[in-house]
């Protein structure tokens, strides 16, 4: 008598596709610890986390966009514009933009500056989302135009100069440390919003719709998902994180300027993709994005400690990004070719 049973095969490529960023991060940390013992010191590790907090916040928003098979090239420019508007609100205008020192007083409370920065981010994201959904312009073109437009708006608003010197209540959000000298406030903000974003994507209907739109927008629409609304909202979410990151960055540097975030969009996209989110949409996690941001931060920090040239650092990160996308495409192809339940390999008992 011949019976059949399901043969379960261990797919190493699929496992690597899911856990490669974490495996690479751990391996990288071990290698840097052996090469440079200072790397593993608590001070250095928290410094790495503080450095990636801004990129990490932007990457959280970018994850929502890329999950729908979109892209947002404007996050760096929008960060600069939102930061300048928030800083101007905090200073009460541009007249005392260069005032620094103990005599600095706040014209408006920090929370009003925060709301102003986030409002600019939300507006910028909504404008781009509407262009993508209503005008049907490809996201790459829309956000490339946004990159130029928002950078120009930042230069026009500030006259090309910075806005500096905020009161302690403002700079606390970027420079303070909790529990003595260990935990920087920007790291707490980054982790908190990463947890919120993880919950939204994994446990809410909106999160399910984001994955559905990225997996197959036409099928999602036929299933009753409002694809236009979901697409619009992911760009609004990206804009929100650009505004939040702008406030934290200006608080950390005690300054806002039009060149802030120059080129950061490439690092942000790299963090998301290296973290395992597919550029084709429909697959990825916030946890992976956090790992991707940490991986880039650890790589940069370790190379600096080893006195490696910044030019070589850029080459290494670029090569890793290309390899990550190539591997992602390979895994995606294998996943689509995987047999369904009715096609599972059967073997005689």
More confident residue, 123 or 48: 123
Q: 3-state class of 345 per DSSP?
A: coil
The pLDDT confidence band at residue 245, using thresholds 50, 70 and 90, is very high
Output the pLDDT for position 22.
84
CA distance 303 to 219: 45
Average pLDDT value for the chain = 86
More confident residue, 182 or 241: 241
The stretch 133-138 carries a mean pLDDT of 94
CA distance 80 to 45: 27
Tens of pLDDT, residue by residue over 260-277, are: 999 899 899 989 988 888
Can you give the residue ranges of every domain in the chain?
41-261
CA distance 74 to 151: 9
Q: How many CA atoms lie within 13 A of 245 on its CB side?
A: 37
For residue 132, give the H/E element and its range: helix 110-133
Output the pLDDT for position 14.
66
Q: Across the strands, what pairs with 93?
A: none
CA distance 328 to 175: 37
The pLDDT confidence band at residue 98, using thresholds 50, 70 and 90, is low
pTM listed for this prediction:
0.88
Alpha helices in 204-226 (DSSP H): 205-215, 217-222
The pLDDT confidence band at residue 344, using thresholds 50, 70 and 90, is very low
In this structure, what token pair is assigned to residue 237?
A: 């979410």
Predicted confidence (pLDDT) at residue 1 exceeds the cutoff of 50: no
Predicted confidence (pLDDT) at residue 343 exceeds the cutoff of 50: no
Predicted confidence (pLDDT) at residue 342 exceeds the cutoff of 50: no
Which backbone phi and psi does 41 adopt, to 5 degrees? -70, 145
């Amino acid at each position: 008598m011949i019976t059949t049973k399901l043969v379960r095969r261990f797919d190493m490529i699929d496992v690597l596709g899911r856990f490669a960023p974490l495996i690479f991060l751990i391996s990288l940390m071990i290698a840097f610890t052996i090469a440079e013992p200072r790397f593993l010191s608590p001070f250095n590790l928290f410094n790495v986390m503080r450095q990636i907090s801004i990129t990490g916040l932007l990457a959280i928003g970018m994850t929502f966009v890329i999950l729908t098979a979109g892209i947002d090239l404007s996050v760096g420019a929008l960060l600069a514009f939102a930061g300048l508007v928030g800083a101007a609100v905090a200073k009460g205008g541009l007249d005392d933009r260069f005032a620094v020192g103990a005599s600095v007083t706040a014209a408006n409370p920090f929370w009003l500056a925060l709301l102003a920065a986030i409002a600019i981010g939300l507006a910028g994201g909504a404008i781009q989302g509407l262009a993508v959904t209503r005008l049907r312009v490809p996201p790459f073109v829309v956000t490339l135009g946004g990159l130029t437009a928002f950078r120009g708006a930042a230069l026009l608003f500030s006259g090309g100069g910075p806005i500096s010197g905020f009161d302690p209540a403002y700079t606390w959000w970027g420079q303070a440390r909790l529990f003595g000298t260990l935990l920087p406030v920007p790291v707490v903000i980054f982790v908190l919003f990463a947890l919120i974003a993880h919950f939204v994507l994994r446990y809410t209907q909106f999160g399910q719709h984001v994955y559905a739109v990225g997996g197959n927008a036409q099928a999602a629409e036929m299933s009753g998902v409002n694809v236009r609304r979901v697409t619009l909202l992911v760009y609004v979410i990206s804009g929100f994180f650009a505004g939040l990151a702008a406030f934290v960055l200006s608080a950390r540097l005690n300054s806002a300027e039009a060149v802030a975030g120059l080129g950061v969009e490439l690092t942000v996209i790299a963090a998301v993709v290296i973290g395992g989110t597919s550029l084709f949409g429909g697959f990825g996690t916030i946890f992976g994005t956090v790992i991707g941001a940490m991986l880039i931060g650890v790589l940069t920090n370790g190379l600096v400690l080893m006195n490696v040239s910044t030019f070589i650092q850029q080459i290494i990160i670029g090569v890793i990004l290309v390899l990550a996308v190539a591997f992602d495409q390979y895994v995606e192809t294998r996943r689509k070719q995987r047999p369904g339940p009715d096609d599972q390999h059967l073997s005689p008992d």
